Amino acid sequence: MAPALTIPRSAVLAAWLGLGGDPTRAARCVQGDDEPHTVQAEGRSRPLAEYVEPFLRQDGRASSIDTACQLPVPGDPAALGPAVAAQAITAGEAVLLRGPDGCRALIPQIRQFGSQLEPGHVVTWVATPVLDWRRAVAAATGGPREAEQALQQGLAEATAALVRLDVARWSPLSDQVEAVRDAALPVELLPPTMPGARLRMLATAARVRAIVGLAATDTASSPSVFVADQRAAALRETDRAARRALAASTTFVAATATM
């Protein structure tokens, strides 16, 4: 059986905050196999389910809020401001949200324990007040349609570059790449109301990121430094497009919010 694709914790959390749902189920889906997540906010620590409940239930009814997933890397802080960019780059992910009392960023601090065969993770989300992030996200990521077009263009350009370099002839990773291509998106972690178009884009972006990750580990097969540099550049641009598509697929902002 092919392995499941990996969805960043921040993408799962952003999807639940943006679409709404049961807080306990949302927290369980975000946590996955981790130890129960906590949120450090306003000087105290709370379980994740307790923290998100006011956003997912207002006046006794199901609710949702403006939220965005961000997947920054060094040199590309996405739409994150200076107050949280460094921490988010270290984590590789963040959630931006806008609740009734303002905007904040949630950044996971992850501590691993156990062995490589049986790893465990303790995750604490640190909440930090930030300025209104919606315009910056719209400018950096665009909507799902624009992000998907950028992803497809990035894939085409990277594929053409890698074909010119004849990477397939040198890479020993074909079996692993095939496994990733066959991997399924773990839709059970996402809200049942997730639109099909977003699910498809999320699956494509997650699959591309996994393949880029595999290719990045194959540094010994390039016949020259020039080829290695050219391949790294092609993969870097592909990963950038995939990160933005993955973020856009789990970003939910009211249409009037960024006007």
Element (H, E) at 259: none
Q: How far apart are CA 70 and CA 243, in angstroms?
A: 8
Residues forming beta bridges with residue 70, ordered by sequence position: 94
Per-residue confidence (pLDDT) for residue 238, from 0 to 100? 81
Which residues lie below 8 Å from residue 215, measured CB to CB, with a gap of 6+? 167, 171, 173, 231, 235
Q: Which structural domains are found in the chain, ordered by start?
A: 9-141 (3.10.450), 144-247 (no CATH)
Per-residue confidence (pLDDT) for residue 256, from 0 to 100? 44
DSSP state of 76: B
Read off the pTM: 0.85
Per-residue confidence (pLDDT) for residue 77, from 0 to 100? 81
Per-residue confidence (pLDDT) for residue 258, from 0 to 100? 44
Q: How far apart are CA 98 and CA 93, in angstroms?
A: 17
Q: Tell me the average confidence (pLDDT) per consecutive run of 10 residues in the chain, 259 residues long.
A: 81 96 96 96 95 84 88 87 91 94 95 84 96 89 68 63 52 61 88 93 87 67 58 77 89 65
Per-residue confidence (pLDDT) for residue 160, from 0 to 100? 59
Amino acid identity of residue 184, one-letter, is A
At residue 227, the 3 state secondary structure works out as helix
DSSP H stretches of helix in the chain: 9-19, 23-31, 48-56, 85-91, 134-141, 144-165, 167-170, 174-182, 196-217, 225-249
Q: What is the dihedral of CA 43, 47, 48, 49, to 10 degrees?
A: -130
